[in-house]
C-alpha cells in the first residue's frame, strides 16, 4: 500500500467543506490513516513549502497557509499519490477536470482547497512533517 499526504487548506475550512471533501476522498477508495486539525505559523508553513522558496508564489502561499486552520490527512491506497492527484485535479481550478475537488470547490490557483503530495518520496517527507513516526505508529497500531 502507498501513502500520501492531503491537506485541507484554510479556504476549505472557511467554506465548511471538510465533510464534502472527505466524503469524496473516502468514496474514491482511500483509507484515512490519521488526521488532525492544526494552525500553522508562518515559519511552519515556510518549512513545509521550503522546496518552493524563491518561487514567485512562495510568500503568498505561506501567508495563506498560515491564515487559518488546516487539516493534514495521511491517506492509504494502491497508487495513492497518482490517484489522489487525479481526484483533486489541476492546481488551477479553471483547468481542472469536471468532478475533481478543485473544480467543484476551489476559487483560484492560490486558494485551491487541498494539497496533495506530488511523489511517493515527497509524500513520506510531508507525512513526517505533520505526523512524527511515533505519532503515526500509535494511530495505525
CA 63, 66, 71, 74 torsion: positive or negative? positive
Cβ(89)–Cβ(51) below 8 Å: no
Q: Which of 9, 77, 102, 115 is catalytic?
A: 115
Would residue 52 show up in a list of annotated catalytic residues for this protein?
A: no
d(CA 49, CA 65): 10
Q: Helices (DSSP H) in 1-106: which residue ranges?
A: 10-14, 18-27, 42-48, 58-65, 80-88, 101-105
User: C-alpha grid cell for residue 124?
Assistant: 513520506
Q: In what order do the strands lie in the sheet with 71-77?
A: 31-35, 71-77, 2-8, 114-116
* Residue positions annotated with a catalytic role: 115
Amino acid at each position: 500500500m502507498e501513502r500520501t499526504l492531503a491537506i485541507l487548506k484554510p479556504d476549505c475550512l472557511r467554506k465548511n467543506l471538510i465533510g464534502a471533501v472527505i466524503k469524496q476522498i473516502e468514496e474514491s477508495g482511500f483509507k484515512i490513516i490519521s488526521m488532525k486539525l492544526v494552525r500553522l505559523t508562518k515559519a511552519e508553513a515556510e518549512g513545509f513549502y521550503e522546496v518552493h522558496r524563491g518561487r514567485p508564489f512562495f510568500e503568498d502561499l505561506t501567508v495563506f497557509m498560515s491564515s487559518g486552520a488546516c487539516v493534514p490527512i495521511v491517506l492509504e491506497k494502491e497508487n495513492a499519490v497518482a490517484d489522489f492527484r487525479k481526484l483533486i485535479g489541476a492546481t488551477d481550478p479553471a483547468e481542472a477536470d469536471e468532478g475533481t475537488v478543485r473544480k467543484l470547490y476551489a476559487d483560484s490557483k492560490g486558494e485551491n482547497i487541498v494539497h496533495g503530495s506530488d511523489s511517493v518520496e515527497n509524500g513520506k517527507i510531508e507525512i513526517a512533517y505533520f505526523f512524527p513516526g511515533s505519532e503515526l505508529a500509535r494511530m495505525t497500531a
